[in-house]
Chains A and B, each alone.
Chain A
Amino acid sequence: NAGVMQNPRHLVRRRGQEARLRCSPMKGHSHVYWYRQLPEEGLKFMVYLQKENIIDESGMPKERFSAEFPKEGPSILRIQQVVRGDSAAYFCASSPSSGWSAFFGQGTRLTVV
């Protein structure tokens, strides 16, 4: 039973480019969460999605960031026109329901140059 799969593991983008981060939840999990982690800091909640719905995006920056979890395929976190401050590790977690502990993927480390 594969865990939460994220790809790519490492992503380098130039300022102004777009970054697309993918997350496939564990089998049977319909709840997906995205978190961002800056160096030597804790994880910060960004967005919570269920299939085809954004449930809570209170942690998402107002501009340039978007997320989706389509009916088919992985969840996507999209960052447009990246800036150096977007450099961080982005983690996806999934759970079978909102009242259960979430399991995390290995993350995507985004570096903006």
Chain B
Amino acid sequence: GESVGLHLPTLSVQEGDNSIINCAYSNSASDYFIWYKQESGKGPQFIIDIRSNMDKRQGQRVTVLLNKTVKHLSLQIAATQPGDSAVYFCAESKEGGKLIFGQGTELSVKP
């Protein structure tokens, strides 16, 4: 069936370290994926996206990797900061643009 799942519910890292958040998806026909950050009491905030014709995309301090062979997506955050503490969701864009979200990974950054 359609689903997007995350490997770990929580991730704790030291400030300054790199963070890696993983996500698996089940629909091999999916062609567009997005990572969102959600802070407590706020709406999801767009971080970075990637289309299936790409393996990697970089933004400011963030990199998304897509492995279509194993249907796996990851978000890498370089030099993690306390302000990066939040819940991170991967989302798969379906027909019409509706998003299928994973359960989320809570990132906690220790000073």
Return chain B residues, CB-CB under 8 Å to A105: 43
Given contacts A41-B103, A91-B44, contact A100 B97 (CB under 8 A): yes
Q: Across the interface, do A106 and B96 meet the contact criterion of CB distance under 8 Å?
A: no
- B97-A31 in contact (CB<8A): yes
| Binary interface encoding of chain B residues 62-99 relative to chain A, with 1 for a CB under 8 A from any of its CBs, else 0 | 00000000000000000000000000010001011111
- Check if B46 sits within 8 Å of A42, measured CB to CB: no
Q: Is the CB of B99 within 8 A of A33?
A: yes
Counting chain A CB atoms within 10 Å of each CB, the highest count among B36, B46, B96 belongs to B96
Determine the distance from Cα of A43 to Cα of B99 in the docked complex, in whole angstroms: 9
Interface size on B, residues (CB 8 A): 21
Whether B42 and A106, one on each chain, are in contact in the complex, defined by CB atoms closer than 8 angstroms, is yes
Q: Chain B residues near A42: list those with CB within 8 A.
A: 89, 101-104
Q: How many residues of A contact B (CB 8 A)?
A: 28
In the complex, what distance in Å separates the CA atom of A6 from the CA atom of B102? 23
Is the Cβ of B46 less than 8 Å from the Cβ of A43? Answer: no
In the assembled complex, the Cα of A98 lies from the Cα of B95 at a distance in Å of 8
Q: In this complex, what residue of A is CB-closest to B90?
A: A42
What residue of chain B has the Cβ atom nearest to residue A59's Cβ? B98
Please, what's the 1-or-0 string for B28-39, where 1 marks a CB less than 8 Å from any CB in chain A? 000010101000
Q: Contacting A55 at CB < 8 Å: which of B49, B89, B96?
A: B96
CB distance from B1 to the nearest CB of A (A): 13
Q: Would A44 and B101 count as touching, CB distance under 8 A?
A: yes
Q: Which residue from chain A places its CB closest to the CB of B89 in the assembled complex?
A: A42
A84-111 CB contact bits vs B (8 Å, 1 = yes)?
0000000101010111111111110000
Q: Which residues on A are within 8 Å of B, measured CB to CB? A: 4, 6, 31, 33, 35, 41-45, 48, 55-56, 59, 91, 93, 95, 97-107
